[in-house]
């Protein structure tokens, strides 16, 4: 798993590295060297033997990263031009050291005082945005806008250091004129805002530059993680040659109705393909022809309209005693919610249970659920369950998901971009 940090968590991780004895100037140097490696590899093969790059730097530490990157690229034969804004008095010692080094080495730099328009830009194959770092929030300052407009007008590849200027590194909200990158080289660990809201559109490909310290320093400050393929593979170990279906669990699926038999088929087939040994499908609808023959399917008593009927409850109670995990809800329809609400009171707390689709209508803002239950709403269902405004949910999904998971208990899997899985304490995102 990869740690995803907020700006505040990133500051604490930086301080932890410094407290371990790694000076801030060394961290900046390592970040710039790693960024140069990433940039050079990304541009391969370059259109010219000596690529030309224009780097726009601010006076904060993001600008310091840009100054150091300029030096490393110049050492590799790149033709480098640096624009910088702000003042030397605003710079940290590390940022000022790297600007002074550029000037001492004769690498071209041009200062842009506040209110002064940028000069005609040189022809550049790549432009790099190192204007504002993770501490900046929209709206953009007036002194930065003219520079961004010039950078955006150039027919060049676009790269952002740490985060694109104009993007909130925590929430992914952005100024309308934020820098739009093809590649974002973020420092030490990815930031949450790169994968939320406008972050998806502004960051392009995201690569993480090393600060030359172990990643566990960043991980120690994270409460949000991005899932990787290896995290999933580890949960599907190789099976012993001598084993049978009875060794791999029994899944019960209560799904479907006369109008939505396909939902039951999809759920049952997915359970088979995920590796369950025995899958029991109990459905009020017809058994769809797409249901795999391995599925043990049973039709339940239904209403004249084809919805799950209360007369099915004794059979469902028997199913609860037979299975090791339960899926409840796909395709059951709104009319079945009273039966679902009654059934929920009978599910043993020991039984891992996924509640999906219209079964979620039985969950209210005041509900409390066992720790082994998983609620799987999409944004619209989640808004209905909580009474929150849908657009508010869409823009603040990670924080609302964590808040409501704490309130309900259990696990919440919010189907969004990204998919958010949380128990209220830690969150895992499927990017």
pLDDT tens string 107-117: 999 999 988 88
What pLDDT is stored for residue 81 in this prediction? 97
What pLDDT is stored for residue 99 in this prediction? 99
Query: Could you read off the pLDDT of 264-313 as tens digits, one per residue?
Result: 999 999 999 999 999 999 999 899 999 999 999 999 999 999 999 999 99
Alpha-carbon distances, residue 386 vs 107, 111, 361, 392, 415 (angstroms): 57, 52, 11, 12, 15
**Among all chains, which residue has been given the structure tokens 């805002």?**
193
Reference 259, options 285, 282, 281; nearest CA is 285
Query: Which domains does the chain show, CATH number per domain?
Result: 2-226 (3.40.50.10260), 233-430 (3.40.1190.20)
Q: Which residues contact 390 (CB under 8 A, 6 or more apart)?
A: 379, 380, 383
The Cα angle at residue 379 between residues 257 and 396, in degrees rounded to 5: 165
What pLDDT is stored for residue 50 in this prediction? 83
CA atoms within 13 A on the CB side of 409: 10
Query: Could you read off the pLDDT of 129-182 as tens digits, one per residue?
Result: 999 999 999 999 888 999 999 999 999 999 999 999 999 999 999 999 999 999
Instruction: Assign 46 a pLDDT band (cuts: 50, 70, 90).
Output: low
Q: Is the pLDDT of residue 96 over 90?
A: yes
Cα(328)–Cα(256) distance, rounded to whole angstroms?
Answer: 10
235: left (phi over 0), alpha (psi -120 to 50) or beta: alpha
Structure tokens at 172: 């992914």
Cα(247)–Cα(241) distance, rounded to whole angstroms?
Answer: 12
pTM of the model: 0.93
Cα(159)–Cα(130) distance, rounded to whole angstroms?
Answer: 9
Reference 28, options 82, 86, 69; nearest CA is 69
The whole-chain average pLDDT of the chain stands at: 96
Peptide bond into 139 cis (omega under 30): yes
Answer for the pair 412, 391: CB distance below 8 angstroms, yes or no: no
Q: Is the pLDDT of residue 235 over 90?
A: no
Q: Is the pLDDT of residue 185 over 90?
A: yes
Q: Is the pLDDT of residue 47 over 80?
A: no
Q: Is the pLDDT of residue 382 over 70?
A: yes
How much of the chain exceeds pLDDT 90, in percent?
A: 93
């Amino acid at each position: 798993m990869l740690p995803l940090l907020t700006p505040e968590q990133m500051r604490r991780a930086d301080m932890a590295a410094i407290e371990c004895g790694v000076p801030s100037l060394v961290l900046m140097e390592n970040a710039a060297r790693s960024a140069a490696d990433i940039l050079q590899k990304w541009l391969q093969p370059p259109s010219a033997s000596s690529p030309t790059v224009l780097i726009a730097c601010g006076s904060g530490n993001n600008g310091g990263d840009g100054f150091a990157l300029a030096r490393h690229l110049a050492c590799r034969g790149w033709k480098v031009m640096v624009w910088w804004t702000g003042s030397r008095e605003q710079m940290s010692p590390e940022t000022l050291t790297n600007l002074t080094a550029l000037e001492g080495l004769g690498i071209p730099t041009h200062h842009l005082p506040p209110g002064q328009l940028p000069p005609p830009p040189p022809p550049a194959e790549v432009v790099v945005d190192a204007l504002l770092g993770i501490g900046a929030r929209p709206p953009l300052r007036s002194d930065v806008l003219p520079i961004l407009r010039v950078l955006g007008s150039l027919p060049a590849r676009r790269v952002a250091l740490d985060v694109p200027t104009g993007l909130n590194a925590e929430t992914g909200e952005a100024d309308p004129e934020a820098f739009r990158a093809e590649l974002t080289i973020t420092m030490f660990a990815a930031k949450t805002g790169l994968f939320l809201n406008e972050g998806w559109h502004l960051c392009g490909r995201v690569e993480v530059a090393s600060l030359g310290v172990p990643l566990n320093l960043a991980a120690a400050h994270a409460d949000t993680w991005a899932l990787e393929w290896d995290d999933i593979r580890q949960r599907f170990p190789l099976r012993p040659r001598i084993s049978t279906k009875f060794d791999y669990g029994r899944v019960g699926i209560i799904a479907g109705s006369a109008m939505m038999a396909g939902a039951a088929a999809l759920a049952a087939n997915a359970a088979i393909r995920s590796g369950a040994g025995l899958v029991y499908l109990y459905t009020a609808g017809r058994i769809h022809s797409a249901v795999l023959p391995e599925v043990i399917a049973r039709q339940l008593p239904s209403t004249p309209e084809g919805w799950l009927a209360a007369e099915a409850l004794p059979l469902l109670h028997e199913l609860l005693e037979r299975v090791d995990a339960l899926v409840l809800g796909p395709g059951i329809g709104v009319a079945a919610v009273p039966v679902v609400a009654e059934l929920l009171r009978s599910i043993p707390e020991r039984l891992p249970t996924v509640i999906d689709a219209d079964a979620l209508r039985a969950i209210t803002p005041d509900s409390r659920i066992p720790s082994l239950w998983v609620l799987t709403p999409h944004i619209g269902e989640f808004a209905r369950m909580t009474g929150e405004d849908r657009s508010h949910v869409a823009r603040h999904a990670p924080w609302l998901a964590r808040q409501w998971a704490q309130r309900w208990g259990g696990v919440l899997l919010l189907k969004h971009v990204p998919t958010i899985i949380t128990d209220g304490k830690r969150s895992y995102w499927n990017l």
